[in-house]
Amino acid sequence: MKIVAVVTGGGHGIGRALCRRLARDGAIVVVADIDADAAAKVATEIDGVARQLDVSDESAITLLVEEVETTIGPIEMFISNAGVGFGDGQSGAISAEGGMHAMDDRWSACWNVNVMAQVYAARAVIPRMLRRGGGHIINIASAAGLLSQIGDAAYSATKHASVGFTESLAINYGDDGIKETS
Contacts of 78 (CB under 8 A, 6+ apart): 5, 6, 65, 121, 125, 135, 136, 137, 138
| Distance separating alpha carbons of residues 158 and 30, to the nearest angstrom | 25
Residues that are catalytic: 155
Q: In the chain, what is the greatest distance between 2 CA atoms, to the nearest angstrom?
A: 59
Give the C-alpha separation, 180 to 20, whole Å. 21
Q: Label each residue of 109-166 as H, E or C.
A: HHHHHHHHHHHHHHHHHHHHHHHHCCEEEEECCCHHHCCCCCCCHHHHHHHHHHHHHH
Residue type, 157: A
Q: Are 30 and 80 in contact (CB under 8 A)?
A: no
